[in-house]
């Protein structure tokens, strides 16, 4: 399918329409669980579908998910909140909903040598996560390097000062993972030292940074149209861990360039 967008400048950001309504979640003081790792491990062993999250600088831990009543025995209490009054929490739920949908599409988080779960990675990276489909990759002509394309995801929220409205956006960037035949991660200098510069050039052509005649000046637009928008189109409606649904627009945010300020009086 050919995707067409109007001429102009675009950001790799897509509007997310979250429901502006109240929802019940579990809450406890942050000092009751200085680290969430042990609590998450208990949840994992119990087999319950529960998410726990504490925003940076927050004095509370939030628990949600279809089995959240399990948290009563951990000292949590039930509280009613409006999603738009807790934008950090709502942003976290959106990225978790996106991840769950992406898993259904065959994507998985970037693999680390350390045994980290998704939520620890999200905490450490301030809500940012890379996803790859490890069954889909391209191989260089010498059959020595695998090039995997993935998506770097994060959610932001912005206040519209004109309409006095809170807007959520999903930012999607393209990332690449390079591995040898033994799945050892590679960087550009590894490719040059172990192979040669022509192999590196081929890798960068696979990544679309280069074309046969030189630098690809259209790479950002090409990635947006050919890789990012088709991925976002598959997300469409996502289910938040609290049970509500959110809609992800597949239209990227247009960048409007204004002229120099001119007085109107």
Residue-wise pLDDT tens digits, 48-77: 999 999 998 899 999 999 999 999 999 999
Say what the pTM is.
0.89
257 pLDDT more than 70: no
Distance CA(118)–CA(40), nearest Å, equals 11
202 pLDDT more than 90: yes
- On whether the CB atoms of residues 104 and 36 are closer than 8 A, the answer is no
8 versus 237: which is more confidently predicted?
237
- On whether the CB atoms of residues 170 and 18 are closer than 8 A, the answer is no
Residue 62: the pLDDT is 97
Judging by beta carbons within 10 Å of its beta carbon (0-12, 13-18, 19+), is residue 8 exposed, middle or buried?
A: exposed
261 versus 47: which is more confidently predicted?
47
Average predicted confidence (pLDDT) for the chain: 90
SS3 11: strand
Residue 264: the pLDDT is 44
């Amino acid at each position: 399918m050919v995707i067409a967008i109007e001429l102009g400048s675009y950001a790799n950001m897509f509007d997310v329409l979250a429901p502006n309504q109240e929802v019940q979640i579990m809450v406890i003081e942050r000092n009751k669980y200085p680290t969430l790792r042990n609590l998450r491990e208990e949840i994992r062993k119990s087999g319950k579908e529960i998410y726990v999250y504490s925003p940076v600088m927050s004095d509370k831990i939030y628990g949600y998910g279809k089995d959240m009543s399990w948290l009563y025995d951990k000292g949590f209490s039930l509280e009613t909140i409006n999603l738009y009054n807790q934008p950090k929490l709502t942003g976290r739920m959106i990225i978790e909903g996106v991840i769950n949908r992406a898993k259904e599409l065959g994507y998985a988080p970037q693999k680390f040598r350390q045994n980290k779960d998704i939520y620890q990675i999200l905490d450490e990276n301030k809500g940012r996560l890379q996803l790859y489909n490890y069954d889909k990759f391209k191989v260089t002509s010498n059959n020595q390097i695998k090039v995997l394309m993935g998506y770097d995801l994060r959610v932001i929220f912005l206040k519209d000062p004109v309409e006095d409205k809170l807007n959520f956006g999903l930012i999607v960037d393209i990332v690449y993972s390079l591995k040898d035949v033994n799945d050892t991660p590679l960087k550009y200098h590894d490719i040059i030292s172990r192979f040669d510069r022509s192999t590196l050039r081929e890798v960068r052509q696979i990544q679309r940074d280069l074309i046969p005649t030189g630098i690809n000046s259209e790479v950002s637009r090409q990635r947006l149209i050919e890789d990012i928008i088709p991925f976002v189109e598959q997300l469409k409606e996502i289910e938040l861990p609290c049970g509500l649904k959110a809609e992800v627009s597949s239209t990227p945010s247009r960048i409007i360039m204004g002229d120099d300020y001119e007085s109107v009086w």
